Structure 1
Amino acid sequence: MKAFITGGCGFVGAHTAAALLEAGHQVFIYDNLSNSYQDALEALQDISGIRLPFVHGDIRDGERLLQALKTSGPDVVFHFAALKSISESFEKPLDYYDVNVSGTVTLLKAMQSCGLKRLVFSSSVAVYPENSPSPCSESVSSVGAPHPYGETKVIIERLLTRLGESKPDLSSVILRFCNPAGAHPSGLLGEKTRQPQGNLFPRIWQAARGEIPRFEIFGGDYATPDGTAVRDYLHIMDLAEGCVKAGEYSLRHQGTETFNLGSGRGASVLSVLRSCERAAGRKINFQIVSRRTGDRPEFIADPGKAEKILHWKARKNLDEICEDAWRYELHRG
């Protein structure tokens, strides 16, 4: 398959590109580099021996996007370009709706102009309401997020469903990602952003490297085994392989289908910290502080549907996530 990846230099996009190349597919990268770096392309070349075609462009730039799609002639479009910080989305809701929703509409119009009918879309388990069961399956009765970031994903999911109803020959595969972490096992490719990172693993590594005095754990009195919140963490290469499976599925599928991509296993924040300590071979200072508003004690995704239909299952455990992530941290210096 020929794959066109928006946000292809970002964390998910670049690792999906690596997995696609390993599976023998062709890859074309489109990214505005607003929160990523072009050196991801150099890492991909070192890993695969292939120099990938790249266009520096924004998904809201309809003319540039249309030209890139015409030039590359893809079979499947992988749409990963988006703003993704929950906390920032409260501060900049207009930006989030503009990039995530308007950008997706622009992409879909460009695809329609080119006659492209297969899309893999990166959604998030953030679309599940706070009262959703855990583990949570895709059959939950309704979706709805308490923050602008999640709302943009909900809107796009509904748009793709409506679009599929109006054009039955389209194939849209919606992937609700859990918490991706880790790095490519080579140590050459990992998570590198231009904006400050508030996610769990980057903050732990900052504390491990002495860049911040301590790692803060938000809440230590949840009804969980060690009192800290439990989440579903997924190795980035497992996630990338799930994206490849979704792309291959879209080639033989019509309609709109939704899948959770998660490990199906929960890990507490404190257990993640301990695993990172083992990987780094050092103690990491931490402090338990007040809970964050909106955080719930536990959330795990049920990946059973992806296992059954996509024939995909997460293979790597928490220690492997931390070991690969630390290898990349050492490589980047």
Structure 2
Amino acid sequence: MRQKYVLVTGGAGYIGSHTVLELLQTGYKIVVMDNLSNSNLEALRRVEILAGRPVHFFKGDITSTADLERVFSQYAFWAVIHFAAIKAVGESAQIPLDYYHNNVTGSLNLMRVMNQFKVKNLVFSSSATVYGEPEIVPVNETARLGPVTNPYGRTKLFVEEMVRDLCKSDPEWNVCLLRFFNPVGAHVSGMIGEHPQGIPNNLLPYVIQVLQGRLPHVCIYGDDYDTPDGTGVRDYIHVSDLATGHVAALRKLEKRPGCVAYNLGTGTGYSVKQIVNAMEKATKKKIPYKVVDRRPGDVATCTADASLANRELGWSPIRSMDEMCQDMWRWTHLNPQGYDGPLKATAAAVAGDHKSS
């Protein structure tokens, strides 16, 4: 299988770039297809440095069948890892049609072209949002799906439904649906990390911009939830642990599992205030915050039961919340402008000590 290529859509993005690094270090040959709308080629350049191996890059958009056909004509693929999506919960409520077009139509195009080229192995990066307001926490894969509280989550659920229907219609398809929880952190080298465009939509990148003085304070959306301190509780997982989960899922495809869903999370919940405190500990800086109204579509608590992935994929997350915050702060310290500015010289020494993730 590894003589052929794996296509990674959205592979220049935050989770994609960390996964590409892990795949290269495991011996897979990788082609990244990305439209660079919320990602950066510099991430892949640094991935190549860390891995000591090349990444084949193809600029293209999954909403373009012509782009997909070109890349499938150019390389012999045996599997696809599908990250390419727009992913801001709040924004999805403001521009839902853009989300349905990119995430649902793009995925439909991808699977059609995969069918056309007889490539029927897929790892789909789904989301814990498909569970909606969980009835039981921690939530496992047998839980009811939906009702989903925002258009972004619905796009993930719709793609999952399409995949399930496709697998029923054609048993040659093998798909791992990875429902991951809240990815945070950065590669331990400090060379790759999250670089959101504009004002971040996720908590920790927002906290980072407050620490940098770019934003005045952290907004805590509601402190009256039924949680220990009233703020929303989430399951945060280190992005490098997510990356190893995708590699484990790809290995699972080699065993032809059919269509199966796995949660990727730690099972431990942290509230917004606990995250702020953890970042204060990692940075030794005070982080101002302000409580504002709840956001529509947010749920009180969502944590993962990832025991199925532990058992069937042989995968477990190994990084703590302290490591998530320390790695994120190292990335920020070495790359104060993200990929738009120079990497501080000290990063080269750090990278030399951390060849693996």
Pairwise TM-score range, normalised by the shorter structure: over 0.9
Partner of 2:241: 238
The structural deviation recorded for 1:131 is 4.4
Distance 2:134 2:118 in 1: 40
TM-score (norm 1): 0.97
Q: Which string of whole-angstrom CA distances, capped at 9 and with x for unpartnered residues, describes residues 168-210 of structure 1?
A: 0110110001000000110000001334311101110011111
1:97 to 84, 93, 100: 100
Q: Name the SS of the counterpart of 1:194 in structure 2.
A: coil
> Does 2:268 align with 1:265?
yes
The structural deviation recorded for 1:74 is 1.9
Which amino acid counterpart does residue 152 of structure 1 have in structure 2? Answer: T
Structure 1 residues without counterparts, runs of 5 or longer: none
Partner of 2:347: none
Partner of 2:254: 251
Q: Name the SS of the counterpart of 1:258 in structure 2.
A: strand
Question: Residue 131 and residue 13 in structure 1: after superposition, are their counterparts in 2 closer, same or farther (change >3 A)?
Answer: closer
Which amino acid counterpart does residue 133 of structure 1 have in structure 2? Answer: I
Distance 1:81 1:107 in 2: 10
Aligned pairs for 1:152-191 within 5 A? 152-191=155-194
> Does 2:213 align with 1:210?
yes
Distance 1:222 1:147 in 2: 18
Which amino acid counterpart does residue 151 of structure 2 have in structure 1? Answer: P
Aligned pairs for 1:17-36 within 5 A? 17-36=20-39
Question: Residue 229 and residue 141 in structure 1: after superposition, are their counterparts in 2 closer, same or farther (change >3 A)?
Answer: closer
Assess if the C-alpha contact under 8 Å between 1:259 and 1:306 holds in 2: yes
Q: Which string of whole-angstrom CA distances, capped at 9 and with x for unpartnered residues, describes residues 93-147 of structure 1?
A: 1111111111011111111111101000011010112143211011013333121
Distance 1:65 1:14 in 2: 20
1:124 to 122, 127, 134: 127
Partner of 2:8: 5
Partner of 1:106: 109
> Does 2:84 align with 1:81?
yes
> Does 2:62 align with 1:53?
no
Q: Which string of whole-angstrom CA distances, capped at 9 and with x for unpartnered residues, describes residues 9-64 of structure 1?
A: 00111010011112121111100001111111111122112231101100011122
> Does 2:284 align with 1:281?
yes
2:304 to 279, 301, 305: 301
Assess if the C-alpha contact under 8 Å between 1:275 and 1:322 holds in 2: yes
Q: Name the SS of the counterpart of 1:36 in structure 2.
A: coil
Structure 2 residues without counterparts, runs of 5 or longer: 337-357
Partner of 2:67: 64
Matched residues, percent identical? 39
Q: Name the SS of the counterpart of 1:8 in structure 2.
A: coil
Q: Name the SS of the counterpart of 2:77 in structure 1.
A: coil
Distance 2:312 2:28 in 1: 21
Question: Residue 103 and residue 134 in structure 1: after superposition, are their counterparts in 2 closer, same or farther (change >3 A)?
Answer: same
The structural deviation recorded for 1:256 is 0.8
Distance 2:205 2:260 in 1: 32
Assess if the C-alpha contact under 8 Å between 1:169 and 1:254 holds in 2: no
Report the aligned-residue RMSD: 1.2
TM-score (norm 2): 0.91
Distance 1:303 1:133 in 2: 14
Assess if the C-alpha contact under 8 Å between 2:233 and 2:302 holds in 1: yes
Distance 2:25 2:274 in 1: 32
Assess if the C-alpha contact under 8 Å between 2:22 and 2:247 holds in 1: yes
**Most deviating of 97-106 and 218-227:** 218-227
Question: Residue 294 and residue 62 in structure 1: after superposition, are their counterparts in 2 closer, same or farther (change >3 A)?
Answer: closer
Which amino acid counterpart does residue 43 of structure 1 have in structure 2? Answer: R
